[in-house]
Chain A
Amino acid sequence: MPDSAASSRIQLWDWPVRLSHWGFAALVPALWLSAEAGRMDLHKQLGLVMLALVVFRLGWGLVGSTPARFASFLSGPRRVLAYLRGGTWSGIGHNPLGGWSVAALLAMLSAQLSLGLICEDSDGLESGPLNHYVSYDTAALARAGHELGFDLLAVLVGVHLAAIAWYRFRRREDLVTPMLTGRRRFAHRVAQPQMAPAWRAVVLAALAGALAWWVGQGAPLGAAA
Chain B
Amino acid sequence: MKLLGKFVVGGALALVAGVAVAADAGALVKAREDNFKGMGKAMKAIGEELKAPAPAAAVLKTNAATIAQNAHRVAGMFPKGSGPESGVKTHALPAIWEKPADFRKRADDLVAAAEGLKLAAGTGNPAAVREAQMKVGGTCKACHQDFKARD
- Size band of the B side of the interface? 20 to 34
A36 to chain B, nearest CB (A): 11
| Interface residues of B, dominant DSSP | helix
The answer to whether A136 and B140 have CB atoms under 8 Å apart is no
Per-residue contact bits, chain B 95-120, to A (CB 8 Å; 1 contact, 0 not): 00000000000000000000000000
Q: Report the minimum CB–CB distance from A196 to chain B (whole Å).
A: 40
List B contacts of A139 (CB < 8 A): 44
* Interface residues in A, total, Cβ within 8 A: 17
A123-B147 Cα distance, complex, nearest whole Å = 13
Q: Which of A107-126 contact B (CB under 8 A)?
A: 120-125
**CB pair A144 B44 closer than 8 Å:** no
A125 touches B134 (CB 8 A): yes
Point out the residues of chain A lying under 8 angstroms from B37, CB to CB: 136
Contact among A125, A132, A144 for B151, CB-based, below 8 A? A144
B44 proximity list for chain A (CB < 8 A): 120, 124, 127, 131, 136, 139
Pair A124/B43 contact, Cβ less than 8 Å: yes
Judge if B53 is at the interface, Cβ distance under 8 Å.
yes
Answer yes or no: A147 CB below 8 A from chain B CBs. yes
Smallest distance from the beta carbon of A98 to chain B beta carbons, Å? Answer: 34
- A122–B40 touching, CB < 8 Å: yes
Residues of B with C-beta under 8 A to A61: none
Who on chain B is nearest to A144 by CB? B151
The CA-CA distance from A144 to B51 in the complex, in Å, is 25
Query: Which chain A positions have C-beta within 8 A of B53?
Result: 224
Determine if A122 and B39 form an interchain contact, defined as CB atoms under 8 angstroms apart. no
Question: What 0/1 readout, one digit per residue, does chain B (25-68) give for beta carbons within 8 Å of chain A?
Answer: 00000000000010111011001100111000000000000000
A127–B44 CA distance with the chains assembled, in angstroms? 9
Residue of A nearest to B134 (CB): A125
Q: Quick check: is A59 within 8 A (CB to CB) of the other chain?
A: no
B72 at the interface (CB under 8 A from A): no
Flag whether A143 is at the interface (Cβ < 8 A). yes
Inter-subunit contact B39/A124 (CB<8 Å)? yes
Q: A123-B140, A124-B39 are in contact. Are A143 and B48 (CB under 8 A)?
A: no
Which residue of B has the minimal Cβ distance to A125? B137
Residue on B nearest A126 in the bound complex, by CB: B137
Residues of A within 8 A of B48 (CB): 132
Is there a chain B Cβ closer than 8 Å to A218's Cβ?
yes
B137 near A123: Cβ-Cβ < 8 Å: yes
Could you say which residues of chain A place their CB within 8 Å of the CB of B52? 224
Residues of B133-151 whose CB lies within 8 A of A: 133-134, 136-138, 140-141, 144, 148, 151
Q: Which residues of A contact B136 (CB under 8 A)?
A: 124
- Listed in ascending order, the chain B residues whose CB lies under 8 Å from chain A are 37, 39-41, 43-44, 47-48, 51-53, 133-134, 136-138, 140-141, 144, 148, 151
Q: A122-B144, A124-B43 are in contact. List 9 more A-B contacts (CB 8 A).
A: A123-B141, A124-B44, A124-B47, A124-B133, A132-B48, A136-B40, A139-B44, A140-B40, A224-B52
Interface residues, chain A, with chain B CB atoms under 8 Å away: 120-125, 127, 131-132, 136, 139-140, 143-144, 147, 218, 224
- List 15 A–B pairs whose Cβ atoms lie within 8 Å, in order of A's numbering: A120-B44, A121-B141, A122-B140, A123-B138, A124-B40, A124-B43, A124-B136, A124-B137, A125-B134, A125-B141, A127-B47, A132-B47, A136-B37, A218-B51, A224-B52
